[in-house]
C-alpha cells in the first residue's frame, strides 16, 4: 500500500472511529449551540469541528436576536459550505428555518391539507400570507370572504382582510421559482365536504344541534350545522300555521334544531324547530273541555266548513252545519278569513288532533269564553 493510500485509509478509519458526520451543502441538521457572542455563534453538528454561523447572517440578525440564543440550545442549521478555504463549516439558521418551512409547505401541498393562517398584507391582486418564513399569495379570484363594496365606498376590501384568519389550501407550489399560491375557495369547499361527511356519519335521529340559518325559501329554511346544511321544512318550523319561514326565522339566526332524520346516501339532513317545543295537542285535554266557549280566528274556508285557530298549533273545524241555524251552502255566507269569533267546543279528540267547534251553539246555556 502506497503512502497516499495509507494516509487515506487512516483518515477513513479515524472518521469511522469518531463517527464524524460527513456534511453536504444544502443539508439541514440539528445541532447544539456551544458558543454565543455578538460576533460568533458556534454550533456542534457532530462533525470534526463546530460549525460557524456566517458573519453576514449575524449582521442581518442583529443584537436582540443573537441574545435570544443560549449555549445548550438545540437549533436547526443549514449547511452553506461543508468546508471553506480555512476549514470552517459555514452554517445558516435562517435558511434552515426557511427550508424547513418549505418542506412543511410541500407536505401540506402533497397531502392536500386544509389549514388556517393570518393575512399579513395585500397588493392589488390579492392577499399575502406567511407559512413561517415562506411567503404565500392568495389571488383575489380565490377569495370568498371579501364582500362586495358598497356603491360609493372607497374602502379597499383587500386591506380590510389584513389580520384576519383564513381557511386555506395550497394549489400551486414551485420551490425553484419561490412560488406558493393559496386558495380560500378550494379550502372552504374541501373543508365543507369533509365536515359534511363527518356530520352525516355521526348525526343520529333525535340529536339536538346548534346551527346558523343560511337561506330561506318557500318550502323551508336551511341551517348550517358546521359544514353541512340541513332543511327545516315549512311544516316543522312551528306547531302553529306558517306560510313562509320569514315569519319564524331570519338569515344568520342561530338556533337549536332537532334532527328528524339523516339520509346518508342522498346526503340530506331533515331538521325540526317545533319538536323542541311542547306539542300543544298534548295539553288540549288539560286546557279545554266539551261545552267550553273559546275565541277563535278563521284561518281557512272549505266547501264543508271553516277552520278556526284557538291558539298557536291548535285549529278546530266549524262544520258547515255548525255555522248557522239557517241553511248554509258555503261558509263564506257566514264568515271570512281573519274573523275573530266566540265558538263552542262540541268535540275533542287529542289523539287524532281534531277539535270540533260550533258557531250556532254559542248562545246556548254554557260557560263563558276562556
Asked if 142 and 178 sit in the same domain, the reply is: yes
Q: Model confidence over 57-76: pLDDT tens digits?
A: 877 777 777 778 888 888 78
Which pLDDT score is estimated for 233? 95
Quote the CA–CA distance of 298 and 313 in Å, as a whole number.
Answer: 14
Asked which of 260, 276, 292 is the last residue of a domain, the reply is 276
Same domain? For 289 and 268 the reply is no
Structural domain harbouring 338: 280-358
Last residue of a domain, one of 257, 276, 295: 276
Q: Quick one: 353 and 285 in the same domain?
A: yes
Maximum Cα interatomic distance, the chain, rounded to a whole number of Å: 134
Any domain includes 314: yes
Backbone φ and ψ for 22, nearest 5 degrees, come out as -85, 115
Q: Are residues 286 and 272 part of one domain?
A: no
| pLDDT tens for each residue of 263-309 | 988 888 999 999 998 888 888 888 889 999 999 999 999 999 999 99
My answer on whether 294 and 268 are in the same domain is no
So what's the pLDDT on residue 105?
93
Quote the cell numbers at residue 152: 360609493
Question: For the chain, how big is the Rg over CA atoms in Å?
Answer: 38
**pLDDT at residue 214 greater than cutoff 50:** yes
User: If you count them, how many residues does the chain have?
Assistant: 370
Within 10 A of 18 (CB to CB), how many other CB atoms are there?
11
Q: Cα dist. 64→58, 61, 69, 100, 203 in Å? A: 11, 8, 9, 23, 53
**Which of 242, 276, 310 delimits the end of a domain?**
276
Q: Is residue 213 part of a domain?
A: yes
Number of domains composing the chain? 4
Residue range 332-349, pLDDT digits in tens: 999 999 999 999 999 998
Residue 194 lies in a domain: no
The whole-number average pLDDT for the span 17-27 is 66
CATH number (domain holding residue 322): 2.40.50.140
Could you tell me which of 106, 12, 29, 19 has the C-alpha nearest to residue 75? 29
Helix ranges, the chain (H): 3-18, 55-67, 93-111, 184-202, 284-287
Where residue 101 falls (left for φ over 0; alpha for ψ -120 to 50; beta otherwise) is alpha
Q: Tell me: do 90 and 13 sit in the same domain.
A: yes
In a domain, 197, yes or no: no
Q: How far apart are CA 326 and CA 151, in angstroms?
A: 64
Whether residue 344 is found in the same domain as residue 286 = yes
Sign of the torsion formed by the C-alpha atoms of 161, 163, 168 and 173: positive
How many other C-beta atoms are found inside a 10 Å radius of the C-beta of residue 37?
9
pLDDT at position 369: 47
One domain for residues 13 and 86: yes
Residue 210: its pLDDT value, please? 94
Whether 35 is in a domain gets the answer yes
| Under 8 Å between Cβ of 294 and 265 | no
Residue 227 lies in a domain: yes
135 and 90, same structural domain?
Answer: no
Closest-CA residue to 275 (of 257, 250, 249): 257
Nearest to 126 by CA among 110, 143, 139: 139
User: Do 237 and 258 fall into the same domain?
Assistant: yes
What's 47's DSSP letter? Answer: S
Q: Is residue 335 part of a domain?
A: yes
Structural domain includes residue 105: no
Amino acid at each position: 500500500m502506497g503512502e497516499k493510500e495509507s494516509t487515506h485509509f487512516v483518515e477513513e478509519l479515524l472518521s469511522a472511529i469518531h463517527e464524524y458526520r460527513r456534511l453536504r451543502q444544502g443539508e439541514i441538521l440539528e445541532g447544539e449551540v456551544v458558543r454565543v457572542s455578538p460576533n460568533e455563534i458556534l454550533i456542534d453538528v457532530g462533525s470534526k469541528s463546530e460549525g460557524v454561523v456566517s458573519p453576514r447572517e449575524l449582521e442581518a440578525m442583529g443584537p436582540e436576536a443573537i441574545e435570544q440564543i443560549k449555549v445548550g440550545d438545540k437549533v436547526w442549521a443549514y449547511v452553506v459550505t461543508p468546508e471553506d478555504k480555512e476549514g470552517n463549516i459555514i452554517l445558516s439558521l435562517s435558511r434552515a428555518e426557511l427550508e424547513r418551512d418549505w418542506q412543511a409547505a410541500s407536505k401540506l401541498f402533497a397531502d392536500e391539507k386544509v389549514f388556517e393562517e393570518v393575512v399579513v398584507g395585500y397588493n392589488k391582486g390579492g392577499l399575502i400570507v406567511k407559512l413561517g418564513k415562506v411567503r404565500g399569495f392568495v389571488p383575489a379570484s380565490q377569495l370568498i370572504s371579501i364582500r362586495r363594496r358598497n356603491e360609493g365606498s372607497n374602502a379597499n376590501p383587500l386591506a380590510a382582510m389584513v389580520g384576519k384568519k383564513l381557511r386555506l389550501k395550497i394549489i400551486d407550489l414551485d420551490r425553484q421559482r419561490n412560488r406558493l399560491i393559496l386558495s380560500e375557495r378550494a379550502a372552504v369547499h374541501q373543508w365543507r365536504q369533509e365536515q359534511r361527511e363527518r356530520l352525516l356519519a355521526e348525526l343520529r335521529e333525535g340529536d339536538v344541534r346548534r346551527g346558523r340559518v343560511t337561506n330561506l325559501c318557500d318550502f323551508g329554511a336551511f341551517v348550517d350545522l358546521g359544514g353541512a346544511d340541513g332543511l327545516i321544512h315549512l311544516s316543522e318550523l312551528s306547531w302553529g300555521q306558517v306560510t313562509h319561514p320569514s315569519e319564524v326565522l331570519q338569515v344568520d339566526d342561530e338556533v337549536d334544531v332537532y334532527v328528524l332524520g339523516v339520509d346518508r346516501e342522498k346526503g340530506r339532513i331533515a331538521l325540526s324547530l317545533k319538536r323542541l317545543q311542547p306539542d300543544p295537542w298534548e295539553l288540549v285535554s288539560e286546557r279545554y273541555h266539551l261545552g267550553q266557549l273559546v275565541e277563535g280566528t278563521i284561518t281557512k274556508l272549505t266547501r264543508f266548513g271553516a277552520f278556526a285557530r284557538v291558539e298557536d298549533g291548535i285549529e278546530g273545524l266549524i262544520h258547515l252545519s255548525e255555522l248557522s241555524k239557517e241553511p248554509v251552502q258555503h261558509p263564506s255566507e257566514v264568515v271570512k278569513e281573519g274573523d275573530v269569533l266566540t265558538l263552542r267546543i262540541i268535540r275533542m279528540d287529542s289523539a287524532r288532533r281534531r277539535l270540533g267547534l260550533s258557531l250556532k251553539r254559542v248562545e246556548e246555556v254554557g260557560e263563558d269564553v276562556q
